[in-house]
Structure 1
């Protein structure tokens, strides 16, 4: 099965430009209550994922408090990303996502030019396989109502 069925398109995804500041990232992540967000460069290409951990490590390594004005001068491009979330091509199959979703809350999806087009969330993958599993075992066990 192709992954397009599960795609949350870019216009519905919260993401950050890779040239945003640390303060902008912290504010957006706090507002949306996200632990990780995709980063997109000026050309619209997927440029990695920023996590809460990346922010925490940056604050502690640079000995910066969250009230510090320096947050406005730290560019996300300069922050070390401790986790390298891998993107998949839009033509990938659902089975290609299993390994990725074990370590990623979402999987970024790109087109032929590596342009970010959206994400697939872990919960959709788990839900798909749970429905598949329970449809063979106990159809009523996964029913929602």
Structure 2
């Protein structure tokens, strides 16, 4: 019957809770005895020994130890010179159907620079439009 199973489940849950509490009490007792078990009279000395054994110094995360080698800084990128000739080449590439990322990589310029050149030549579709690029005629 279902009610019998519910009652049995409740009894097992209560027993599991008691077992968990007993484990916690025993674990706490054993942890408290560890420093003396390994010959330490002071808890702080025991913790220091644990950290040393684990290879941690107790310093805050993100800080480097004194004397640690510094990571090499990435080389600064120089700004590309956008000439009229480069703009013409980018325009040809756009008209040939190349993607902005491919054009940027090919000519050593950023994707936003490619986009700016496309805007300058009127090769960018207006937002929300599926039609052809805006024309430069007025």
TM range (shorter): under 0.3
Q: Which has the higher contact order (CA 8 A, sep 6+)?
A: 1
TM-score by length of 2: 0.22
Which of structures 1 and 2 has the bigger CA Rg? Answer: 2
**TM-score if structure 1 supplies the norm length?**
0.21
The structure where helix makes up a greater share of residues is: 2
Which one has a larger percent strand, Structure 1 or Structure 2?
1
